[in-house]
């Protein structure tokens, strides 16, 4: 069987034009669906990026040492912790180091520290983790050591961050599935109009011995075109919107957050692929669905 792609496309365009109101409705619904999908996707990607950099920053555990600890004991702790599974490296921070660090981070207010008679800061051991995932097992190891006064870890913050990301991802997926179902339904209705108007033709085709796929193919082309139009428009709109948001984020006001915002080019590469696949999928599904009844002759 020969399928003539150019002829099929021409016919498809003609039919879409004939039912242009429904075509516009279909394209709009796909566009709306994909826009929302795009927004959720952009959110998720950015939150993921932020969570990732947070993980990179918080992937250490600081164990404050007791005042009376000896150099030998410190060496023993370092050796022991270096061997623990999931530990990247272990560093020692003396009381003096801690003070220097604090002065650096206090910057203009550092003069307040000048008045101190003795250094009140404890010395500590900083354990860098290979991944935040090892935090709890390493914590157990550290707590089992003697000579440790107090442990500071970022586990709680990171876990909260991760659970927020997860919640957004789940909610997003549900919303997206509902929207995809809605636009598939709208495309299904549009294609049903052409199918209805060509019911006679389909019937005759069946009597002359056309296979279902021969009959389905042009309608499939129509539905897929609708989906792809929707995807194209949605991609453009998302591009403009995201560029605008990206601009705003780079004004001074948000400069702290903007370091984590994913570049438009990076986002658009993913979005373009996602939109084409989902748009074409919605269109194809809608049109095959709309033909089901008519092919059982």
Task: Give me the least distance between CB of 296 and other proteins, in Å please.
Answer: 8
CA distance 201 to 205: 6
Report which of 183, 194, 196, 203 is spatially closest to residue 286, judged by C-alpha positions: 183
Q: Which of 152, 203, 236, 243 binds other proteins (CB under 8 A)?
A: 203
Task: Give me the least distance between CB of 24 and other proteins, in Å please.
Answer: 24
205 forms part of the interface with other proteins (CB under 8 A): yes
Q: Which of 4/107 has CB closer to other proteins? A: 4
Q: Which of 109/296 has CB closer to other proteins? A: 296
Site for other proteins in 214-233 (CB under 8 A): 214
Report which of 159, 139, 169, 141 is spatially closest to residue 151, judged by C-alpha positions: 139
Task: Give me the least distance between CB of 3 and other proteins, in Å please.
Answer: 9
14 forms part of the interface with other proteins (CB under 8 A): no
Residue 23 C-beta-side C-alpha neighbours within 13 Å = 18
Strands 60-65 and 148-153: antiparallel
17 forms part of the interface with other proteins (CB under 8 A): no
1 forms part of the interface with other proteins (CB under 8 A): yes
CA distance 123 to 94: 4
Q: Which stretch binds other proteins (CB under 8 A): 109-117, 173-181, 195-203, 234-242?
A: 195-203
18 forms part of the interface with other proteins (CB under 8 A): no
210 forms part of the interface with other proteins (CB under 8 A): yes
Site for other proteins in 250-289 (CB under 8 A): none
Q: Which of 107, 209, 251, 256 binds other proteins (CB under 8 A)?
A: 209
Task: Give me the least distance between CB of 216 and other proteins, in Å please.
Answer: 12
9 forms part of the interface with other proteins (CB under 8 A): no
Contacts of 126 (CB under 8 A, 6+ apart): 60, 61, 62, 63, 90, 91, 92, 93
Binding residues for other proteins, total number by CB under 8 A? 17
CB 232 within 8 A of CB 225: no
The encoded tokens of residue 81 equal 């912790």
At residue 94, the 3 state secondary structure works out as: coil
Q: Which residue has the tokens 């952009």?
A: 42
Q: Which residue has the tokens 């709680």?
A: 156
Contacts of 86 (CB under 8 A, 6+ apart): 129, 130, 131, 133, 134, 137, 138
Q: Which of 2/146 has CB closer to other proteins? A: 2
Q: Which stretch binds other proteins (CB under 8 A): 41-49, 100-108, 161-169, 200-208?
A: 200-208
Positions touching other proteins (CB under 8 A) are 1-2, 200-201, 203-212, 214, 296-297
């Amino acid at each position: 069987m020969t399928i003539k792609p150019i002829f099929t496309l021409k016919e498809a365009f003609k039919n879409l034009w004939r039912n242009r109101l429904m075509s516009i409705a279909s394209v709009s619904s796909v566009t709306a669906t994909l826009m929302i999908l795009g927004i959720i996707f952009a959110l998720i990607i950015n939150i993921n990026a932020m969570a990732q950099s947070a993980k990179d920053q918080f992937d250490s555990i600081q164990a404050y040492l007791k005042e009376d600890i000896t150099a030998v004991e410190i060496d023993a702790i370092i050796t022991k912790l270096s061997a623990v599974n999931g530990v990247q490296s272990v560093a020692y921070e003396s009381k003096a180091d801690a003070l220097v660090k604090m002065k650096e981070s206090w910057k203009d207010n550092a003069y307040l520290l000048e008045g101190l008679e003795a250094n009140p800061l404890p010395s500590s051991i900083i354990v860098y983790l290979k991944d935040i995932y090892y935090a709890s097992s390493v914590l157990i190891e550290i707590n089992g050591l003697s000579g440790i006064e107090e442990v500071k870890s970022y586990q709680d913050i990171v876990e909260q961050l991760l659970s927020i990301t997860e919640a957004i991802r789940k909610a997003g997926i549900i919303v997206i599935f509902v929207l995809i179902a809605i636009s598939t339904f709208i495309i299904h209705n549009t294609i049903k109009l052409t199918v209805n108007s060509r019911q006679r033709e389909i019937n005759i085709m069946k009597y002359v011995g056309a296979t279902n796929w021969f009959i389905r193919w042009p309608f499939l082309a129509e539905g897929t075109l609708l989906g792809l139009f929707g995807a194209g428009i949605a991609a453009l709109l998302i591009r403009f919107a995201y560029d605008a948001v990206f601009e705003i984020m780079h004004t001074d006001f948000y400069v702290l957050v903007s370091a984590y915002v994913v570049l438009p080019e990076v986002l658009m590469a993913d979005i373009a692929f996602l939109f084409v696949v989902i748009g074409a999928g919605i269109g194809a599904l809608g049109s095959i669905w709309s033909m089901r009844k008519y092919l059982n002759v």
